[in-house]
Amino acid sequence: MTTERVSALLTDLYQLNMVQAYLDHDETRTAVFEFFVRTLPARRGFLLAAGLEQALDYLENLRFSAAEIAWLKSTGRFRQNLLDYLADFRFSGDVHAMPEGTTFFANEPILRVTAPLPQAQFAESRLINILHFQTLIAAKAARMVLAAPDKALVDFGMRRAHGAEAGTMAARASYIAGFAGTATVSAGREFGIPLYGTMAHSFIEAFDDETAAFAAFAQSRPDNLVLLIDTYDTEAAARKVVALAPRLKAAGIAIRGVRLDSGDLVALSKSVRKILDAGGLGELTIFASGGLDEDSLVAFAEANAPIDGLGIGTSLTTSADVPNLDSVYKMQEYAGLARRKRSAKKATWPGRKQVWRRYGADGRMAGDVLALEGRGHAGEPLIELVVQNGRRLRPAPSLVEVRRRAARELERLPEPLRRLEAGTTYPVEVADELKQLAAEVDRRLALQQPRP
Binders of its own copies among residues 314 to 333 (CB under 8 A) are: 314, 318-320, 323-325, 327, 330-331
The contact pattern for its own copies, residues 225-254, with x = CB under 8 A and - = no contact, is -----xxxx--x--x---------------
What is the size of the binding site for its own copies (CB under 8 A)? Answer: 114
Site for its own copies contains 124 (CB under 8 A) = yes
Residue 88 Cα distances to 31, 66, 91, 392, angstroms? 20, 10, 10, 20
Binders of its own copies among residues 17 to 56 (CB under 8 A) are: 17-18, 20-22, 24-25, 27, 31, 33
Q: Which is nearer to its own copies, 189 or 247 (CB)?
A: 189
Binders of its own copies among residues 102 to 121 (CB under 8 A) are: 117, 121
Q: Which is nearer to its own copies, 153 or 417 (CB)?
A: 153
Residue 153 Cα distances to 141, 187, 234, angstroms? 9, 16, 22
Site for its own copies contains 80 (CB under 8 A) = no
Separation of alpha carbons 112 and 110, rounded Å: 7
Shortest gap between Cβ of 263 and its own copies (angstroms)? 4
Q: How many CB atoms lie within 10 A of CB 282?
A: 9
Shortest gap between Cβ of 415 and its own copies (angstroms)? 30
| Signed CA dihedral, 290, 294, 297, 299: sign only | negative
Binders of its own copies among residues 380 to 419 (CB under 8 A) are: none
Site for its own copies contains 89 (CB under 8 A) = no
Shortest gap between Cβ of 382 and its own copies (angstroms)? 24
The contact pattern for its own copies, residues 151-190, with x = CB under 8 A and - = no contact, is -----x-xxxxxxxxxxxx-------------xxxx-xx-
What secondary structure does DSSP assign to 391-429, as a single string?
Answer: EESSPPPPHHHHHHHHHHHHHTS-HHHHTT-TT----EE
Q: Which is nearer to its own copies, 24 or 415 (CB)?
A: 24
Shortest gap between Cβ of 267 and its own copies (angstroms)? 11
Separation of alpha carbons 249 and 222, rounded Å: 11
Counted residue by residue, the chain has a size of 452
> Which stretches of 232-303 are DSSP H helices?
234-250, 265-278, 294-302
Q: How many CB atoms lie within 10 A of CB 377?
A: 19
